Amino acid sequence: MTAAIALSPSSPVAPAFAVPRAPLPDARRGAFDAVLDLRHAGLRCVRLQWEVRGDRARPAVAVLGGISADAHVASSAHLPAPGWWESQRETFADHCCVSFDWIGADGTLDAPIDTADQARALALVLDHLGIARLDALVGCSYGAMVGLAFATAFPERVGRLVAIAGAHRPHPFASAWRALQRNVVALGQLQCDETHGLSLARQLALLSYRTPEEFDERFDAPATLQAGAARCASEDWLAHHGAEYAHRTPTTAFLRLSESIDLHRLDPADVRVPTTLVAFAEDRLVPIDDVRALAAGIAAPVRLHALHSRYGHDAFLKEPDAIAACLRLAFDAPREVCA
């Protein structure tokens, strides 16, 4: 006969063997389908692809880049490929970093897209992940525009906003640059050479992202004759980056996301969360005066960092130390004394 052993409710019962738990991955990706009511195109079914990096117990920060950026912000042990903002990987080490692919980026959505639509898409991603409120939203270039739109539509869902190289409206000169790029793509399509047209459009975009001062330093060399035609020192660099972009980017995605920048416009007074703005004096796409006007109109504490860089609009990618310093100040500042 086997004797029975009585255990009190508080007595621990050790298992015969312990099953070790697999460590949670330090980064995860996922996707889900959703229906969005687009501002200019009505109800559309979209595929939302997201990535989360870092411990979910840490404060959540959404990080959004330019129109060519995706959800992969920085590398991790689980997803080791370099991200589009690899230089800021350690800056976000104390946060749970959330991002997503822009709606329209896969080229399947051929309809007008607005930054407000992207903001609603981000809200759906946060709902899907169970994140009620962001500690911060950091947006660069197009991501700064989307961040401003998100802060306008969902002020209760974000503790602070950091908008780098973005404003409340597209500058008319920058819109003219983009209109020309889209016309170049259209010409390529008429010539049955869409890829070449997209490559040339990207090369024009690169000229607007950078500055004459950088080109003077990098490409001050005499033109050479090749097959009887003059070729300037920057042409190979431009052609390489244009072809690389055209190879990985659907033409429809480029056109619709380019348009969405020009459709962006909001009232600065509708931004009601503590905000840090970063502008570059040499930025020809987002002039510093536009960012100053944005700062003056925001209905919340504001800090404006006015920086200099020979890289112009691309300085958010090319000046990692200066950007990291601005981000640290934004994260460390108490929300009520952000000004």
| Catalytically annotated residue among 68, 141, 208, 260 | 141
Q: Is 283 a catalytic residue?
A: yes
Q: How far is CA 209 from the centre of its chain?
A: 15
Measuring CA to CA, which residue among 89, 156, 148 is closest to residue 119?
148
The per-residue DSSP string of 292-314 comes to HHHHHH-SS-EEEEEE--TTGGG
Identify the active-site residue in 283, 290, 305, 309.
Answer: 283
Catalytic residue among 117, 305, 313, 314: 313
Secondary structure letter of residue 134 according to DSSP: B
Centre a 10 Å sphere on the Cβ of residue 126 and count the other Cβ atoms it contains. Answer: 22
Name the E strands within 39-178. 42-53, 60-64, 96-100, 136-140, 161-164
Task: Judge whether 305 counts as a catalytic residue.
Answer: no
With beta carbons less than 8 A apart as the criterion, state whether 278 and 307 touch: yes
Match 């490559």 to its residue by tokens: 199
CA distance 73 to 75: 7
313 is catalytic: yes
Catalytic residues: 141, 283, 313
